[in-house]
Amino acid sequence: MKIIVTGSAGFIGSHIAAKYRALGHDVIDIDLRAKKARNICDEEAMRRLFLREKPDIVSHHAGVIEVVKSIENPRATFEANVLGTINLLQAAGKAGTVKRFIFPSSYTVYGEPAKLPVDETTAIAPISPYGLSKVMAEEAIRFYGKLYGFAHMIFRYPNIYGPGQDGNGAVGAIAIFAERMRQGKAPVIFGDGSKTRDYVHIDDIVRLNALALRAKASGTFCIGTAREVSDERVFAEVKKHMEFPETPTYMAHRYGEVRNISVSGKEAEAALGFKPRISFETGVRNYLRGTRKGTA
């Protein structure tokens, strides 16, 4: 199959593109950081690209992924995450060859849910422009999928971690904590350490996206372990493997960040046969091997 992968230079997209190539598929890379002709925000360039390449599947992982950045500059977030997605959807429809559109949404669409773990029936109530941009992109995918007759698979991701994640970036607590410890600096925890997330290893996400190529299902699926892991727990686990002697630095909770979340994956297991296999403890241990020496 011919597959367009957007965000192919990013943490998640690069792993997925590599897997698709390993499976023998013809992969076309697009990334927001690339030259204009390969930028999803360029509507005409996307139209020409789709008409020329005639892809079978779109795996759309490009976009702005930072909650705090979305609050500081919401316009850039909506341009990339909403308008960029619509550009791809329109191009896919005009090409007439796309059979499936795969999209990573986020637990942030739920805001501060009253009950955990969240699932596909939990009320949508984002508290950041980033979360809202995911809601809007989801609706656009459903609309254009119905209009042009292609299936869609929307995955509401939890926190994803693993090899290749940028420890100097603004997202990814495990990678950021490990990088600061490697440099001999105390990691920063925003809030009192009780904030929780659901963590899934990148290898499991890659396996999910491989299953999505041929799955008969079409719809929206929550992805997660239904387990809450606190920032304090993350710090303790990373500290253990990094042999870091100090305590974290605490700063104020950042507006727009969800305080507590865990995600049920029961529907994905029933419809796709997917369930995360790598436990948090095993995933962190394997990921951090060699990080203390700067080799991860």
Q: What is the chain's Cα-based Rg?
A: 19
In the chain, pLDDT over 90 holds for what percent of residues?
91
- Looking up tokens 């091997």 gives 289
Does 139 have pLDDT greater than 70? yes
In which band, very low, low, confident or very high, does the pLDDT at 294 lie, cut at 50, 70 and 90? very low
In which band, very low, low, confident or very high, does the pLDDT at 289 lie, cut at 50, 70 and 90? confident
What's the confidence (pLDDT) of residue 36?
A: 45
What's the confidence (pLDDT) of residue 3?
A: 98
Could you count the other beta carbons within 10 Å of the beta carbon of residue 208? 25
pLDDT tens, residue by residue, 221-241: 999 999 999 999 999 999 999
Question: Average pLDDT for residues 269-282, to the nearest whole number?
Answer: 97
Could you count the other beta carbons within 10 Å of the beta carbon of residue 194? 14
- Can you name the residues that pair with 57 across neighbouring β-strands? 3, 100
Does 62 have pLDDT greater than 50? yes
What are the structure tokens assigned to 290, written together? 């060699």
Q: How many residues does the chain have?
A: 296
Q: Which fold has domain 173-194+227-261+278-293?
A: UDP-galactose 4-epimerase; domain 1 (3.90.25)
CA 144-149-152 angle, to 5 degrees, is 65
Question: Average pLDDT for residues 258-280, to the nearest whole number?
Answer: 97
In which band, very low, low, confident or very high, does the pLDDT at 34 lie, cut at 50, 70 and 90? low
**DSSP letters for 39-87:** -TT-HHHHHHHHHHH--SEEEE--S---HHHHHH-HHHHHIIIIIHHHH
Domain range 2-162+199-226+265-272, its CATH number among 3.40.50.720, 3.40.50.970, 3.50.50.60, 1.10.10.10: 3.40.50.720
130 part of the active site: yes
- Looking up tokens 């550009």 gives 87
Cis omega before residue 117 (within 30°)? yes
Does 35 have pLDDT greater than 90? no
Does 292 have pLDDT greater than 90? no
Mean pLDDT of the chain: 94
Domain positions in the chain are 2-162+199-226+265-272, 173-194+227-261+278-293
What's the confidence (pLDDT) of residue 169?
A: 83
Q: Are strands 100-106 and 199-201 parallel, antiparallel or unpaired?
A: unpaired
pLDDT tens, residue by residue, 141-195: 999 999 999 999 999 999 999 999 999 888 899 999 999 999 999 999 999 999 9
Among the ranges given (10-19, 31-40, 245-254, 260-269), the one the predictor scored with the smallest mean pLDDT: 31-40
Pick the catalytic residue from 20, 110, 130, 199.
130
pLDDT tens, residue by residue, 66-104: 998 899 999 999 999 999 999 999 999 999 999 999 999
In which band, very low, low, confident or very high, does the pLDDT at 212 lie, cut at 50, 70 and 90? very high
Does 37 have pLDDT greater than 50? no
Burial class, 284, CB count within 10 angstroms (exposed 0-12 / middle 13-18 / buried 19+): buried
Nearest to 46 by CA among 79, 85, 1, 16: 85
Proportion of the chain in helix, strand, coil states, percent, rounded to 5: 45, 15, 40
With contact defined as beta carbons under 8 Å apart, do 110 and 125 qualify? yes
CA 292/CA 189 separation, integer angstroms: 20
Does 33 have pLDDT greater than 70? no
What's the confidence (pLDDT) of residue 170?
A: 81
What's the confidence (pLDDT) of residue 296?
A: 42
Nearest to 12 by CA among 88, 106, 98: 106
What are the structure tokens assigned to 220, written together? 């929206």
With contact defined as beta carbons under 8 Å apart, do 117 and 226 qualify? yes
What's the confidence (pLDDT) of residue 45?
A: 93
Nearest to 242 by CA among 293, 172, 200: 293
Angle at which helix 11-22 crosses helix 202-211, to 10 degrees, equals 50
With contact defined as beta carbons under 8 Å apart, do 274 and 211 qualify? yes
Q: Are strands 151-157 and 26-30 parallel, antiparallel or unpaired?
A: unpaired
